[in-house]
Amino acid sequence: MDLKFREMTVEDLDAVYRINTQSFTTDAWSRNALEREFKLPYSHRIVVEAEGQVVGYAFVWLIKEEAFIMTLAVSPEWRRKGIGRWLLKRIVETFKDKAEVISLDVRKSNIPAIRLYRSMGFEVVKERPKFYSDGENALMMELRLDKMKTDVEDKGKEPEPADRRGQYKEEGEGTREGYREGLR
Ligand SMILES: CC(C)(COP(=O)(O)OP(=O)(O)OC[C@H]1O[C@@H](n2cnc3c(N)ncnc32)[C@H](O)[C@@H]1OP(=O)(O)O)[C@@H](O)C(=O)NCCC(=O)NCCS
């Protein structure tokens, strides 16, 4: 499948609005809210095209070193074909040199999205009670790009014996959480 990732234009708004209302219920964005994004200097608006039509989109806010995925969706008839993962990968590539972290909020019941984010290395960092207007909790998830860069730089470098012992100690003695906190 030939996919194209490009900046959204106002001409895309009909398609984006349609996908948005098909994808979300109480938290679907109004047409005004979508249009407002074009006036925000920190808003990055992205669409995915397949066979010449818009099949997915994302709005990402970049504020200081944090990229926040405000909303992201794939058209219902184009789901489960790898487009969501492809879009997310392109977002990570786009922001990896601009941000230290990519974060988002997702409904706790949204298993497809949570699985997608986890498969890309996102981790749950916080639960936000009654975040949505219908009372559902949100999970705040994030992908640390600074950590990814460190991992890439370290790749291929054989750890010193002392470091290896450290790793075993963390896993064996249950201090991994503290170690991860230390990385943040
Ligand atoms: C979440 C969403 C963007 C995924 O898009 P997609 O193009 O269907 O996703 P992909 O085909 O790339 O699937 C990637 C992974 O997501 C997970 N996934 C996607 N749909 C799933 C489903 N219905 N059930 C379980 N897991 C699912 C799987 O882990 C999948 O990997 P796999 O195919 O190797 O098992 C899409 O379902 C969507 O638009 N949902 C409505 C809007 C939404 O919830 N957006 C996220 C808001 S935070």
Q: Which domains does the chain possess?
A: 3-145 (3.40.630.30)
Please, are residues 166 and 60 in contact by the beta-carbon 8 Å criterion?
A: no
Q: Is the pLDDT of residue 151 over 70?
A: no
Residue 109: count other Cβ atoms within 10 Å of its Cβ: 10
Cα maximum dimension of the chain: 58
- Closest ligand 1 atom to 85 CA: 12
- What tens digit of pLDDT does each residue of 99-136 get? 999 999 999 999 999 999 999 999 999 999 999 999 99
| pTM of the model as a whole | 0.84
DSSP 169: H
- What tens digit of pLDDT does each residue of 61-102 get? 999 999 999 999 999 999 999 999 999 999 999 999 999 999
- What tens digit of pLDDT does each residue of 10-66 get? 999 999 999 999 999 888 999 999 999 999 999 999 999 999 999 999 999 999 999
DSSP 18: H
DSSP letter string over 101-138? EEEEEEETT-HHHHHHHHHTT-EEEEEETT-STTS--E
| 171 CA → ligand 1 middle, Å | 31
- Closest ligand 1 atom to 113 CA: 1
E-state strands within 22-82: 43-50, 53-63, 66-74
